[in-house]
C-alpha cells in the first residue's frame, strides 16, 4: 500500500531514506517504540490522538536500538512487517523506517531533527503513553524535543502522571496491554487473539516468534 515501507528479501541497505511528501504544512503524529510486537493499544492510542487533535496522519517509527530497554529485540524486518500488517487498513497510518535505516541507538531528538530539516513546514505531535510521559524528562535533550514537537500524552485512568513539560492530554480507552505481556503469553502458549491485529497474530505464529 502507498505510504508503507516494506523490507525486500536480503540485507537492509544502510541508506537514509528521504521523506517524499508534498511540500505543504501538515499535522503529523509521531509514535515511536520497539513495537515488539505492535498491539491494539498502540493502534487505539494513535487513532484517538489523530481524531481528537485532527491530525493529517500518524507515523509509526520503530526503534533500531531503544536507549531505555534491555530486552532482546525481534529482528527489524519482523517488527517492520508486523507494523505494516497492523496499519495497512488505515490510510492515515504510515510506517517510517528512519531509525532502522539510521542504525545505532534510536534517539527521538535525532529523528525530529531529521524530520524538521526535511519538512520544516510540518507540525509534529509526539504521542506518548503514560509510562513515556513520566520518563520523558530522562530522554536525550528533552528541552529540544519539546521545542520541535508538541507533546501529547495518552491519559490512563487511575495512573499517576508526573509530566515535567507542557502536555496535551488525550483520553483513550483503558487498554492495559504491553508487548512484554504479549511475548510472555506466546511463550507460555496463552492465546493473544484480540490483543493484536489478526494478521499480526498469524505472522507471529507462522514465524514462530517469541517462543524462546
User: How confident is the model over 72-111, as pLDDT tens digits?
Assistant: 789 999 999 999 999 999 999 999 999 999 999 999 999 9
How confident is the model at residue 167, as a pLDDT? 94
How confident is the model at residue 49, as a pLDDT? 97
Three-point CA angle 151, 153, 47, nearest 5°:
100
* Cβ-based neighbours of 18, under 8 Å, separated by 6 or more: 118
How confident is the model at residue 23, as a pLDDT? 52
How many residues in the chain? 212
Query: Are the C-beta atoms of 152 and 167 separated by less than 8 Å?
Result: yes
Q: The CATH number of 27-175 is which of 3.40.50.620, 3.40.50.970, 3.30.360.10, 3.40.50.800? A: 3.40.50.620
φ and ψ of 181, to 5 deg = -65, -35
Q: How far lies 28's CA from each of 39, 55, 94, 127, 141, in Å?
A: 21, 6, 10, 10, 21
- Of 37, 36, 26, 92, whose CA–CA distance to 59 is shortest? 92
Nearest-angstrom CA–CA distance, 201 and 186: 10
Cα 118 → chain centroid: 20
User: Read out DSSP for 114-127?
Assistant: HHHHH-TTSEEEEE
* Cβ-based neighbours of 160, under 8 Å, separated by 6 or more: 134
How confident is the model at residue 163, as a pLDDT? 86
- Of 176, 182, 175, whose CA–CA distance to 205 is shortest? 182
Class of residue 118 by CB neighbours under 10 A (exposed 0-12, middle 13-18, buried 19+) = middle
Walking along the chain (212 residues) 10 residues at a time, the average pLDDT comes out as 40 39 80 97 97 98 88 91 98 97 96 96 95 92 98 86 91 90 97 98 98 92
Amino acid at each position: 500500500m502507498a505510504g508503507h515501507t516494506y523490507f525486500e528479501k536480503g540485507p537492509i541497505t544502510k541508506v537514509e531514506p528521504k521523506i517524499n511528501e508534498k511540500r505543504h504544512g501538515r499535522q503529523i503524529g509521531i509514535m515511536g517504540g520497539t513495537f515488539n510486537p505492535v498491539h491494539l493499544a498502540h493502534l487505539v492510542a494513535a487513532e484517538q490522538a489523530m481524531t481528537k487533535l485532527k491530525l493529517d496522519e500518524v507515523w509509526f517509527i520503530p526503534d533500531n536500538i531503544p536507549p531505555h530497554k534491555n530486552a532482546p529485540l525481534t529482528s527489524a524486518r519482523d517488527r517492520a512487517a508486523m507494523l505494516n500488517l497492523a496499519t495497512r487498513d488505515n490510510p492515515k497510518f504510515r510506517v517510517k523506517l528512519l531509525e532502522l535505516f539510521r542504525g545505532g541507538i534510536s534517539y527521538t531528538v535525532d529523528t525530529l531533527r531529521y524530520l524538521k530539516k526535511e519538512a520544516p513546514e510540518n507540525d509534529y505531535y509526539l504521542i506518548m503513553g503514560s509510562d513515556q510521559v513520566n520518563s520523558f524528562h530522562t530522554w536525550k535533550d528533552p528541552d529540544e524535543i519539546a521545542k520541535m514537537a508538541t507533546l501529547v500524552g495518552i491519559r490512563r485512568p487511575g495512573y499517576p502522571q508526573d509530566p515535567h513539560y507542557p502536555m496535551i492530554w488525550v483520553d483513550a480507552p483503558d487498554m492495559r496491554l504491553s508487548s512484554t505481556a504479549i511475548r510472555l503469553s506466546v511463550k507460555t502458549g496463552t492465546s493473544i487473539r484480540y490483543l493484536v491485529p489478526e494478521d499480526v497474530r498469524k505472522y507471529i505464529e507462522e514465524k514462530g516468534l517469541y517462543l524462546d
